[in-house]
């Protein structure tokens, strides 16, 4: 399909979209990103994603590349030009192009902004959610600032590949105490035998997922019992249900962890219901 990418002020054919070799994203992974779901041609939870983008940038002392309203316009225009009805829009900001030197570049160096969009087949996604996914656990070997949505994703890349190598779709990171932190690109959840929904608190050690925040709101509205606390790998193996959340897949039931079936080995009712109700609570604009 003919695709268009936004690169520093210009909409370019995807095949011709380039950043400079001395872009600090390329040289140092010195940048951040966001992924927003596109549903029926509209952006899902744009406000929260742009809030998190602003926070990630400010933590790294990178300037916003454009005013928020202008960013919204570029995201929508990229979605429109790519004719994406359902899928994702990806936005990346780096510290810009400068002669290679680890310290910050000279004042006035403009951040680089890239925006792309791509379609995801909702029928295929629904089929995947109907089947549920397998997860494997891997040691969490990331830096401490995983609350920043940084493009430095090497541990996540290796974890996701480890999952693939073991026939699974996602890897859950496990800290030194045997507690699950989060997935390589998702937040991790279980439902205990007593029916309590458990997910790790987001103060530190995980990304504050936007989907996670919306799911917590839905659970609260429905009067479901939620515990924000770390859970162990053993607890996840014994869970009644498990699921993963992310903007690109909403609520994805997990039916197997480390080769062991979770519950009856099929997507559970809590995950299914949260998935079904997600867009009633998410903001679409």
Q: Using CB under 6 A, list all residues that contact ligand PLP.
A: 35, 182, 185-187, 207, 209-212, 245-247
Angle formed at CA 135 by CA 31 and CA 153, multiple of 5 degrees: 15
| Cβ 241 to ligand PLP shortest distance, Å | 19
| Cβ 34 to ligand PLP shortest distance, Å | 8
Q: Which of 81, 149, 221, 225 is catalytic?
A: 149
Please, which residues bridge with residue 251 across strands?
245
86 C-beta neighbours (distance < 10 Å), count: 15
Q: Which CB, 76 or 212, lies closer to ligand PLP?
A: 212
Q: Which CB, 113 or 207, lies closer to ligand PLP?
A: 207
| Cβ 173 to ligand PLP shortest distance, Å | 8
Among 148, 8, 18, 30, which Cα is nearest to 100's? Answer: 30
Distance, CA of 174 to CA of 172 (rounded, Å): 6
| Cβ 115 to ligand PLP shortest distance, Å | 16
Q: Look up 149 and say whether it is catalytic.
A: yes
Q: Which CB, 82 or 187, lies closer to ligand PLP?
A: 187
Instruction: Check residue 284 and report its DSSP letter.
Output: B
| Cβ 284 to ligand PLP shortest distance, Å | 15
Q: Which CB, 18 or 229, lies closer to ligand PLP?
A: 229
The alpha carbon of residue 38 and the mean position of all alpha carbons in its chain are separated, in whole angstroms, by: 14
Distance, CA of 72 to CA of 47 (rounded, Å): 9
Q: Which CB, 30 or 182, lies closer to ligand PLP?
A: 182
CB 31 within 8 A of CB 25: yes
Give kind and range of the element (H or E) at residue 227.
strand 226-228
89 C-beta neighbours (distance < 10 Å), count: 26
Among 161, 158, 282, 183, which Cα is nearest to 242's? Answer: 183
**Active site positions, annotated:** 149
């Amino acid at each position: 399909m003919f695709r268009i990418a936004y690169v520093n002020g210009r909409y370019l054919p995807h095949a011709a979209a380039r950043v400079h070799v001395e872009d600090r994203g390329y040289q140092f992974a010195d940048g951040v990103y966001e992924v927003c779901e596109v549903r029926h041609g509209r952006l899902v939870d744009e406000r929260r994603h742009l809030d998190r983008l602003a926070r990630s940038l400010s933590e790294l002392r990178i300037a916003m590349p454009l005013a928020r309203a202008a960013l919204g316009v570029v995201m929508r225009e990229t979605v429109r030009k790519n004719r994406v009805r359902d899928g994702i829009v990806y936005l990346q900001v780096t510290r810009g192009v400068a002669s290679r030197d680890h310290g910050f570049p000279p004042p006035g160096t403009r951040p680089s902004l890239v925006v792309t969009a791509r379609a995801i087949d909702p029928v295929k996604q629904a089929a995947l959610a109907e089947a549920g996914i397998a997860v494997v656990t891997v040691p969490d070997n990331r830096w401490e600032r995983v609350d920043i949505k940084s493009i430095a994703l090497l541990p996540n890349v290796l974890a996701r590949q480890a999952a693939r190598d073991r026939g699974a779709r996602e890897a859950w990171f496990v800290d030194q105490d045997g507690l699950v932190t989060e997935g390589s690109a998702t937040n991790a959840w279980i439902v205990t035998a007593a029916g309590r929904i458990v997910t790790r608190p987001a103060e530190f050690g995980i990304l504050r997922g936007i989907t996670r925040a919306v799911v917590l709101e839905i659970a609260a509205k429905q009067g479901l019992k939620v515990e924000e606390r770390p859970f162990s790998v053993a607890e996840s193996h014994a869970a009644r249900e498990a699921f993963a959340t992310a903007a690109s897949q909403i609520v994805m039931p997990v039916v197997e962890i480390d080769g062991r079936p979770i519950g009856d080995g099929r997507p559970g009712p809590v995950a299914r219901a949260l998935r079904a109700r997600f867009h009633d609570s998410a903001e679409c604009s």
